[in-house]
Amino acid sequence: MLMLWDFSKGRPYKVVDFATFDVSSSVAGRCVNPAFVHAIAVPEVDMVDKLDKICAVARGDGAINVINIETEMSSTKSKSSSNSRKGSHSRSKDGSSSSKTEADQNEKKRLHLDYTLGGHTAAISSLAFSMFGERGKFLISGGNDKLVKVWNWSLFLEAGLSEDDNNDILHLNIEVPRKVNWLCTTSADTDNLVVCDTSKIVKVYSIA
């Protein structure tokens, strides 16, 4: 799960439980043993106007979830406001139904990238938004399966497509010699991707 913190009060503001998605998607075993979060990535400040306040979450099962933070937080506010207008009796009567509706709405606004779309088959260790060209266009992940995936996730953002509607969301697949420890891109004219695996060699790939 992912926890959003209210720093002014020093306490959690919102807990995003990705096991909820796995249960609704009938992913066997995940509701009993949900995957850990291994890495997160957020856009740079100058990308926010185009990409909104989003967060990409890399998991131990090789899946990636992209969520809209403002949507997640607004659902918490609306739920809190709704509960304050209800009596204790109506809250207990309708709570489960409203919670399910909220979960369903949030899931529809999340992007889920996993092995069914050509994604990772092992834990993801590093995640980053591209800094070159059209900044934030690509989401790049590296994992313990010795693979680097370049996701054209902006197709989902711009066209409003779901991952089921789009077969081109996986832009590039790069095989590396060893497990990936870390990766990044730079703000440059070249579409270079820097990858550090468990060897002593830093590798640079072009993903143009």
Of 67-76, 78-87, 128-137, 167-176, the least confident: 78-87
The mean of the pLDDT values for the chain is: 79
Look at residue 196 and tell me whether its pLDDT is greater than 70.
yes
Q: How far, in Å, are 146, 147, 192 from residue 62 at the CA level?
A: 12, 11, 24
Domain limits, the chain: 2-206
Residue 118 confidence (pLDDT): 93
> Which amino acid would we find at residue 144?
N
The Cβ-side half-sphere exposure at 31, using a 13 Å CA radius, reads 9
Q: What are the pLDDT digits (tens) for 8-37?
A: 888 887 888 877 655 455 555 455 577 899
Q: What is the pLDDT of residue 164?
A: 56
Per-residue model confidence (pLDDT) at position 78: 57
Cross-strand bridge partners of residue 142 = 126, 148
Q: Say if residue 62's pLDDT is above 60.
A: yes
Cα 173 from Cα 145, distance rounded (Å): 12
Q: Tokens at residue 25, please?
A: 């998607």
> Which 3 state secondary structure label does DSSP give 136?
coil
Q: 44, 6 in Cβ contact below 8 A?
A: no
* Mean pLDDT, range 116-144, rounded to an integer: 94
Tell me, what DSSP letter sits at residue 34? P
